[in-house]
Amino acid sequence: MQIKFLHAADLHLGSPFKGLHNVNPSLGKKLRKASFVAFDNMVDAAIEDEVDFVLIAGDSFDSGSGDLQAQFFFLRGMNTLREKGIPVYLITGNHDPLNKWSENLKMPDNVILFSGEKPEVYDFLKDGKVAAKIIGMSYSQREVFDNLAAYYPNGDPGILSIALLHGNRGTDTGHQPYSPFALDDLRRHANTDYWALGHIHKREVLSDQNPCAVFPGNIQGRHFNEDGEKGCYLVEFDGKKRNDFRFVPLSEFIFQRVEVDCSKVGDIGAFTEKLEEVASELLEGKSGTSFILRPVLIGMTEMFVALQNHQQVDELFREINNRSLHRASIVHFDSPVNKTLPSVNLEERAKSDDFFADLLRDFKALLSDDIETKGIIDEINEEITGNTKRMLSGEIEKVNKDNGEREELIRSARNVAVAALLEQKNRGNDN
């Protein structure tokens, strides 16, 4: 029997975008709606593709952050699917455990919400016959460290069997280690044909057959680490044999990094043009898609000094972003990474015998002496006190833990120093 279903996970409805600091109110409004729009897109896709049912593998919303609106919006989507006669098999995850759902949210009868006590199996009937068996278990609370897959019963040898699981693949350290499982744990369920996974926000097909195990990723990226197109999977089975399998993009905004070569950019006008050029190259043939771009500025440039002025650069991006707001496709530049170099060759310059060269060599020495660097950074961090320290604890921890971050800081400090020196020099020349 032919079965077609949509597999989505990690909707994170209402979850705010992170890491953007150049957001004007108009864009803010659009961003706030982005996860909802992506969800609506998913509902539309289910209706349009006339699927037999929809699977949602946990984390439909983020508890504690606008979750009420999210829950009611979710309910609305479920009702829309009900009107079209599309059942939804739903498990909850660490972000939306059962105890975080409103007692007063009455799910329509097309939604089958799995228990948090033990795995359950539901029959999906088509034309009066059992067409699929759907196995799943919800998180009753946020932290579930058991390997839930181990409790899941095996599928039916003669009927398409699908398991809904929210959990972390054992080796993935980028996510919370909830319900950790290994691919072999899944393979042990020899009769289960499809593992509809959730939790990992990056799209990944762990196994494309015997059984299929798929992380569809989240439906809308929320920061630069969740870049690229986001969406869900449309899957077709004929009995226990998988036929079709395709990704359905849903996201309203796409996060992406872009390199902007500033080596031939001499002034602000040229810089603006360069960014617009980058934007239009990106949009070519992708009308209707909106992007949130992190420009990585590279190259030896005369703009080096000017680009060190964060506030000025922010202002410039704000201006460029405002222009894009009126277009059909928004291209928003945010959180630029400045990797530009001054037109002076620093490597060569460091070979001289003067103060400037000494300075450059000192920075270089710091880059290769992480202990020294860490010590200095610790000392500087000591200056931060009280509430500020609390607020910055995450950042401080990041800098403490990650030597990449530290290296980045040293480079940034070198750029600050070089820019200040060059600025003085330029000022001296002007005088």
Partner 1 sequence: MIIKELHIDGFGIFHDHRITGLNSGMEVLYGANEAGKSTLLDFIRMTLMGYPRPNDQRRPPLKGGNHGGSIFFEDKTGKTWEIRRTGTNHNAPPTLIDQTTLEEFRDQVQFDKVVSNANSEIFENIYAIGLSELFQMGSIDKSGMKDRIYSLGTGVVGLDLRALESELTKKSRDLYIPRGSTQRISNLVSDLNELEGKLHHMDAGVERYDQILHKVGDFREKSEEVSNEIQCIDKELEQLKARSDIYQNFVDLEDARKKLAEYVDFQEMHDEDVENIRSIQQRLDDRKKQLSESQKQLDELRDRLDKVKTDENLLEFLPKKGWLERAIPEYESRMTQSQREQEQISRLKEERDSLLSRLGKGYSSDLLAQFNQFDGLRNKGEEVYKKLESLDRSIALKKERLEDRNRAVREIQTAVEQFEHQRDSGNIATEQDAVTGRKKWAELEVKFNELISAPTSQVDLPTWLHFGALVVAIIAAVGAVLLWETYMWFGIIGLLGAVVISVLILSSWRSGGKRNDKPDAIELQAKIKELEAQLNSYEKIRDAIEEKVRERDRLVSLKREEEDQVAQEEKSREELERDWFEFITELGLPAGLRPSAAGDFCERAKNFQDLERKQKTAELARGELQKKMEGFEQEIRKMILAGDGESITEAASRLSNQLEEQEKKKNEKSSLGERLERENHDMETLEKEIDRLEGEGDALYGKYGIGSAEEFPEFLKKQTEYREAVDQKNEARRLIESRCGKNRFDGVVHDLRGLDPPEINRRISELEERKKELDRDREGINQSIGKLSEDAKKLIDSEEQAGLLEEREVKRAALADAYREWMSVRLAERVISHCKLKYQETRQPAVIRRTAEIFSAITSGRYGNIQVSVDDEALIVFGKGGSRKSVFELSRGTREQLLLSLRMGLIDQYEASGAEPLPVVLDDVLVNFDKKRASETARQLTSFAQKRQVLLFTCHKYIAELLEAEGARVRTVD
- Is residue 199 a contact partner of residue 10, using CB atoms and an 8 Å limit? yes
CB of 373 to partner 1, least distance (A): 9
Of 95, 201, 242, 414, which one interacts with partner 1 (CB under 8 A)?
A: 414
Parallel, antiparallel, or unpaired: how do β-strands 290-301 and 253-261 relate?
A: parallel
Of 352, 397, 401, 402, which one interacts with partner 1 (CB under 8 A)?
A: 352
Instruction: Tell me: does residue 421 bind partner 1 (CB under 8 A).
Output: yes
Instruction: Tell me: does residue 72 bind partner 1 (CB under 8 A).
Output: yes
Of 356, 371, 374, 378, which one interacts with partner 1 (CB under 8 A)?
A: 356
CB of 162 to partner 1, least distance (A): 29
Q: How far apart are CA 208 and CA 244, in angstroms?
A: 11
Parallel, antiparallel, or unpaired: how do β-strands 111-113 and 120-126 relate?
A: unpaired
- Closest C-alpha among 186, 328, 334, 343 to residue 263: 343
Instruction: Tell me: does residue 366 bind partner 1 (CB under 8 A).
Output: yes
Which residue stretch of 107-115, 225-233, 259-267, 415-423 sits at the interface with partner 1 (rule: CB under 8 A)? 415-423
Of 3, 8, 10, 17, which one interacts with partner 1 (CB under 8 A)?
A: 17
Which residue stretch of 2-10, 87-95, 186-194, 376-384 sits at the interface with partner 1 (rule: CB under 8 A)? 376-384
- Closest C-alpha among 49, 35, 41 to residue 235: 49
Of 157, 288, 326, 427, which one interacts with partner 1 (CB under 8 A)?
A: 427
Which residue stretch of 67-75, 227-235, 254-262, 268-276 sits at the interface with partner 1 (rule: CB under 8 A)? 67-75
CB of 17 to partner 1, least distance (A): 6
Looking at the Cβ atoms of 181 and 224, the one nearer to partner 1 is 224
Report how many residues bind partner 1 under the rule CB under 8 A. Answer: 69
Looking at the Cβ atoms of 251 and 308, the one nearer to partner 1 is 308
- Is residue 46 a contact partner of residue 11, using CB atoms and an 8 Å limit? no
For the chain, how are helix, strand and coil distributed in percent, rounded to 5? 40, 25, 40
Looking at the Cβ atoms of 109 and 354, the one nearer to partner 1 is 354
Question: Is-cis flag, bond preceding 342, omega within 30?
Answer: no
- Is residue 16 a contact partner of residue 53, using CB atoms and an 8 Å limit? no
Instruction: Tell me: does residue 97 bind partner 1 (CB under 8 A).
Output: no
Which residue stretch of 184-192, 232-240, 253-261, 384-392 sits at the interface with partner 1 (rule: CB under 8 A)? 384-392
Which pair of structure tokens corresponds to residue 56? 């949602």
- Closest C-alpha among 90, 100, 235 to residue 164: 90
Instruction: Tell me: does residue 387 bind partner 1 (CB under 8 A).
Output: yes
CB of 228 to partner 1, least distance (A): 20
Instruction: Tell me: does residue 380 bind partner 1 (CB under 8 A).
Output: yes
Looking at the Cβ atoms of 1 and 392, the one nearer to partner 1 is 392
Which pair of structure tokens corresponds to residue 343? 């037109």
Instruction: Tell me: does residue 139 bind partner 1 (CB under 8 A).
Output: no
3-class secondary-structure state, position 275: helix
Which pair of structure tokens corresponds to residue 301? 């440039």
Q: Give whole-number Cα distances, 169 to 103, 115, 180, 207, 394, in Å.
A: 31, 22, 6, 12, 25
Q: How far apart are CA 413 and CA 408, in angstroms?
A: 9
State the Cα angle at 289 between 285 and 291, rounded to 5°.
Answer: 110
Instruction: Tell me: does residue 79 bind partner 1 (CB under 8 A).
Output: no
Instruction: Tell me: does residue 428 bind partner 1 (CB under 8 A).
Output: yes
- Closest C-alpha among 248, 105, 366, 104 to residue 90: 105
Instruction: Tell me: does residue 18 bind partner 1 (CB under 8 A).
Output: yes
Site for partner 1 in 256-315 (CB under 8 A): 310
Instruction: Tell me: does residue 393 bind partner 1 (CB under 8 A).
Output: no
Q: How far apart are CA 178 and CA 199, in angstroms?
A: 9
Instruction: Tell me: does residue 350 bind partner 1 (CB under 8 A).
Output: no
195-208: burial string, b at 16+ Cβ within 10 Å, e else: bbbbbbbbbeebee
Phi and psi at residue 2, to the nearest 5° = -80, 130
CB of 27 to partner 1, least distance (A): 10
Binding site for partner 1 (CB under 8 A): 14, 16-21, 23, 28, 31-32, 63-69, 71-72, 100-104, 310, 335, 352, 354-359, 362-363, 366, 376-377, 380-381, 383-388, 391-392, 394-396, 399, 409-410, 412-417, 420-421, 424-425, 427-429, 431
